[in-house]
Amino acid sequence: MILFTAPSGAGKTTIVRHLLKTFDELAFSVSATTRSRRPKEIEGRDYYFMSVDEFKSRRRRRKFAEWMEVYEDQYYGTLKSEIKRISDAGQIVIFDIDVKGARKLKQLYGDNCFSIFVKPPSFEILVQRLKDRNTEDDASLKKRIRRMKREMKYAPYFDYHLLNDKLDECLHQAEEIVGSFIKTGNIPTSL
Ligand code: ADP
Ligand code: 5GP
């Protein structure tokens, strides 16, 4: 499996979407979330959207491989059934998850899991990208910015630090390292 993690706005979704188009071997792990759907998002492709009650019921029934309350009252989690569905189809799972959930999956799966931390060029650029994306209201933007500094501190727990400054260079490097992992099963490191 391959996981991408980073603070909100660093570019995980952009990179993961590009890799899914490039490599047929990969399949996206669709997470469950209680946050509301953004206009361009599709149920079952981007997330499984559900109520807090439904999420908590699945959590009680131990349906999640990992879950996090990423923002207050906004839960996100990887369903065990999702990992099984993709593995049974003989594909490699690719995740886009927050730093804490990512650390948990890396601890669970060790060398079977290539973990990549996407680094923004600076804190100011990260904030600007999130604002330009135009998906968050003021309150949500503030929540995300408050969390970013803490999230940056998780970088040392992951195998590879991928700088996302110029997008085309970043996508090229992402292709190289993911291609190498798919081909050899060995984890590239940048540290
Ligand atoms: P994440 O999934 O980590 O929250 P996104 O992939 O949604 O981040 O990217 C956040 C915003 O920044 C999006 O609007 C995206 O188009 C833009 N973006 C991503 N990478 C770059 C880059 N290298 N240069 C400029 N804008 C970028
Ligand atoms: P967003 O609301 O921007 O889609 O995602 C917010 C954060 O939640 C991002 O850091 C994203 O990677 C993370 N996230 C998405 N799915 C999961 C998941 O299944 N588990 C965890 N722990 N985090 C997730």
**3-state SS, residue 54:** helix
DSSP H helical ranges for 89-156: 99-109, 123-133, 138-152
Ligand (nearest to CA of 5): 2
CATH topology of domain 2-184: Rossmann fold (3.40.50)
Assess whether the C-beta atom of 97 lies below 6 angstroms from ligand 2.
Answer: yes
* Identity at 12, one-letter amino acid code: K
pLDDT at 96: 96
Ligand 2 binding pocket mutation candidate from 14, 15, 33 (most atoms within 8 A of CB): 33
Query: How do the domains of the chain map onto residue ranges?
Result: 2-184
* For ligand 1, mutation pick of 47, 97, 133 (most atoms within 8 Å of CB): 133
Q: For ligand 2, say whether the CB of 101 is within 6 Å of any of its atoms.
A: yes
Element (H, E) at 92: strand 92-96
Which residue, 162, 160, 169, 164, is CA-closest to 190?
Answer: 160
Atom of ligand 2 nearest to the CA of 32: 19
CA 149/CA 146 separation, integer angstroms: 7
**Residue 191, pLDDT score:** 59
Cα dihedral 39→41→43→45 (10° resolution): 170
Q: What is the pLDDT of residue 111?
A: 94
Block means of pLDDT (10 residues each) for the chain, 191 residues, are 96 97 98 96 96 98 96 94 96 96 95 97 94 92 91 95 97 98 93 59
